[in-house]
Structure 1
Amino acid sequence: MSSANLFMEILDRSNASDVLFAHATPATMYRIGRTCWMARRAVQDYSRRAFNINKHLRRFFNDPIGFRSLQAQTGTLMTGVFAHGFLDRTLWDETRLDLYVYPQHAVDVGRWVMENGGKGYQFKPMVDQHCDFDVAVAAWLKWPDPWDWESGDDWDVQMRGMQNFLKFLADEEGSGLTVRMMVAEHAPLITLIAYHWHSTAFMNVITFYAAYSLHPFTTFEEKERNNIRSAALLTIDLEIGYDLIDTPNALKQRLTKPFVFGDRWVDDESSWVLPLGTRGVSWPKLSEKTPPLSFDPFSVNAWDLVPSSSGMPQIGHWEIAREIFKFRYCSTASFYMYMKDTIDTLGELERTERSNHRDWS
């Protein structure tokens, strides 16, 4: 049998092609998919199964569609090891799910986890945190000082940029399932890029609509990352097997450019956007009287990636937070200044409209 026929035989058998694709990088799968129609069909079939977000979420929630609808309405983001593992197709920790939520939606998300998650989740208070969820969720959590992060289960949590931190444990015997809810003080993406993401390898987010990787080539193709936060957290990267780009010389010596300096958008050409399929998911609505949005609000977030004095990448951002918007947004400085007057004018017009119509919603 010729090598070409053998390759076609492998592609025609999903149990064989799955092994092949499981060891292939995303770019390799893309190249294979462009060779012929059979290869394209095999890659598409594998991708539908490997990137089935409902299947992965079902480990944490009995109703993944219901949770994703909740995500859409509340702007809740999934990130951390779950988002990284989903995109890398190698879940490093299958027992923990990290959620970033807006303060005004913390009650709704927390109650949904406990009442609709289906795993018997119970709120587990932290040290000095009220044992009643309804009381704890309304408070501004003061992190214990000093915090013995090395011995705690939540050693990787950074309280900067957060109003609250709430943890839920499943009562299923032996499952060890944990849902951690970070209540963001700012737009969730600002909390992530300014305080929480420790390296570029973990700059990945899953919304109700898509999975986003902000540095996909460096992360999933070359298995490299740049440190942007505390070195203590890099143990995760080392265990997974990432190399560190830690000096300007190391950055210059690379044949490919891992970082594109300038304005970045969540869904620009440097990102990887993987649509997840939204059958059954309720899209976000600005109000009960308006039609659902036709796009993912998270996709309009942006930030600046500029070289620091040492030549290494440095992230800059502005926050757009106005009452006319359902969500807060992370923005580049240039876009913020360009839109500021327009946003202020629209805000004034809406305040006038609301004062003239008491039932405005």
Structure 2
Amino acid sequence: MSNLLVDRLEGLYVRFREVGEQITDPDIMQDMKRYVKLTKEYKELEDITKAGDEYKETIERIEESKNIIANETDEEFREMAKMELDELEEKLPVIEQRIKMLLVPADPEDAKNAIMEIRAGTGGDEASIFAGDLHRMYTKYCESKGWKVSISSVSEGTSGGYKEIVMNVEGDNVYGTLKYESGVHRVQRVPQTETQGRVHTSAASVAVLPEAEEFDIDVKESDIRKDTYCSSGPGGQSVNTTYSAIRLTHIPTGIVVTCQDQKSQIKNLAKAMVELRSRIYALEHQKYLDEIAGKRRTMVSTGDRSAKIRTYNYPQGRVTDHRINLTLYNLSAVMDGDIQEIIDKLQTEENIERLKESGL
């Protein structure tokens, strides 16, 4: 392990003890924003120090095995020590790599919930149907992760699917996982309305925003215009009879959000405020994404939402992610929500690039 890495670890052991003391301080526990931040830091440091302990223990066992091989006269005992040494020397670089990855600072937004917007692009009715397919894919994926999904606004397509659908996703490390899905998704297939069997290309765009919490951004009430209107679509007898749907307009930025999925106006207002805060917050976050987009191929999607990131080719049963030149021939499984392999490979690529940037 390099001296730089050892020095970083020693400093983190000290910080780990400091944070451990701070989170038990009654004054700090009263400051919720600070307490949440310190608790998160403590968990991250705990993972690093555990890996550091494992590394130190492995080093000690390697030295013990070498000592046995050099000084032990019992051949069987020496042979056992050689076998253990081989295993330990194989294990050591794996632990070291894990420590390096843990030392690379995480995006502070990764742990947040997310707002996902899917919008039909070029391709008319077929684009709306594809947007519906993407919504189903993401819903199934989120269910497999145990995440909670709720729809805040929807505009249905004339032949099925959606012109636009916005959903909130709540769970563990949601934004850090789904952020790779931002960008233009393209589908190549024969539409149901196509009589001559020709393959058409359609597209839908996906935007993933980190959900902003109240202490992330201060939105003045005087800057918001609130309109109410009757809900449309599923919802029972109250649909089109009560003014429960909410439209919020942020006057300084012109951002407009709507929410109509709840029967209660109060609940719709609360959800709309979360989305409004997140969209305003995303304007600042986008500057950060623009800065790193040129450095990391995996982040081109979030740096530029007009970038084509993935193609779903039905005639060939193929999915291609253009950022990392990944091609898989399991289209039906992917459209059924099995996208973890793609996300894992994108995360791996990004981590490698971030590791290079860190100089470790």
TM over 0.5: no
TM-score by length of 1: 0.25
Bigger Cα Rg: 2
TM-score by length of 2: 0.25
